[in-house]
Amino acid sequence: MMTSDTNFIEFALGIKDSNLIFRGYFYKFIRLIKYRVYEFTLIYPDNVCPECHQRQLVKFGFSEVNTKFTADDASHPVILRIHKQRVRCKNCQHTQLAQSPIVQKYCHIANKVRNKVIMSLQDDRTLDCIANDNNISPSTVNRYLDQSRAIAPLIKQELPINMALDEFRGVNRQLHFICIDNDGNHKIQAILPDRYKRTIENYFLSFPLQERARVKTISMDLNSYYQEIARRLFPNAQIIIDRFHVVAMLTRAFNQYRAQVMKRFEKTSRNYRL
């Protein structure tokens, strides 16, 4: 493959590593899914042993690694098949494998995929949807959510004028507290590690009273201690109960009353069937 073709492929994939040498590409079916596979050779960049610092490294074969990469079409996911060069020091017998900045050591998912997932977590999308778009598992998306602090810092300088409070089931099926800006953009204000009352209070008490007094409305479900926290910590805020929960409560009450009435009739009667 000519150098111009190598540069073109690296430009199309957004790869910036001079030690990666493009070898070719092909299609491969893996579990009935058609993958685009780009094949590279990753050469070891130096001749100095990282252990004894002697210039006595010799080539010691290659190790083939498949790395998941970003794709513009989710129906044809991309894999980088990288043949990493292995070297051995003739002085201390230490072996070393070539590494690339496009993927972390011991990881088979490119950094671009991780960054794309973190950006997608800021949108109003499900974890399964994000996982399918990036050809990874929902548990991997959950792990990125748990590791990243860039999505929702625990402390911000100011609170939104209109807030919404809720909880969601996150890592290890644990319930987490979430607070978002309710002014149409639905940006995440905070994600707390649990939904305990003390944790929520400590977070909001980190803001001065003058800042908490700016909050005008707080939307929530029928959780009783959410209402108690809102009344005590936000003196000027109006509490708004989400109409979904009101309708759901009325529906459950109606169904309970309907079942009580139905049981008054014989099971074989026309009124019972109606």
d(C-alpha 249, C-alpha 49), whole Å:
69
Helix runs in the chain, H state only: 3-13, 111-120, 127-134, 138-147, 197-205, 209-212, 224-233, 243-262, 270-273
Per-residue pLDDT tens for 134-173?
888 888 888 887 776 544 444 467 888 999 998 888 766 7
- What burial class does residue 6 get, using C-beta atoms within 10 Å of its C-beta: 0-12 exposed, 13-18 middle, 19+ buried? middle
What is the separation of C-alpha 141 from the centre of its chain, rounded to a whole number of angstroms? 4
Per-residue pLDDT tens for 34-85?
888 999 998 888 888 888 888 888 888 898 999 988 877 767 788 999 999 9
Q: Is 29 helix (H, G, I), strand (E, B) or coil?
A: strand
97 with 86: CB under 8 angstroms?
Answer: yes
Among 187, 202, 194, CA closest to 155? 202
User: In this structure, what are the phi and psi dihedrals at residue 141, rounded to the nearest 5 degrees?
Assistant: -60, -40
d(C-alpha 85, C-alpha 53), whole Å:
19
Q: Tell me, what's the pLDDT at 1? A: 45
13 with 40: CB under 8 angstroms?
Answer: no
68 with 136: CB under 8 angstroms?
Answer: yes
Q: Tell me, what's the pLDDT at 213? A: 92
Q: Tell me, what's the pLDDT at 171? A: 64
Among 6, 108, 100, CA closest to 44? 100
104: which residues sit within 8 A by CB, 6+ positions away? 111
- Residue 106, pLDDT > 60, answer yes
- Residue 123, pLDDT > 90, answer no
Per-residue pLDDT, averaged over 247-267, amounts to: 88
Q: Tell me, what's the pLDDT at 150? A: 45
Higher pLDDT, residue 24 or 154: 24
Confidence of residue 4 (pLDDT cuts 50, 70, 90): low
Q: Tell me, what's the pLDDT at 151? A: 46
Structure tokens at 140: 């991997």
Instruction: Tell me the range of 4-13, 177-186, 209-218 where mean pLDDT is highest.
Output: 209-218
Per-residue pLDDT tens for 209-255?
999 999 999 998 888 788 898 999 999 999 988 888 788 888 989 99
Q: Tell me, what's the pLDDT at 238? A: 92
- At position 77, the amino acid (one-letter code) is P
Higher pLDDT, residue 2 or 265: 265
Q: Tell me, what's the pLDDT at 156? A: 60
Q: Tell me, what's the pLDDT at 91? A: 86
Q: Which residues of 163-183 are buried (b: 16+ CB within 10 A; e: fewer)?
A: bbbbbeebeeeeebbbbbbbe
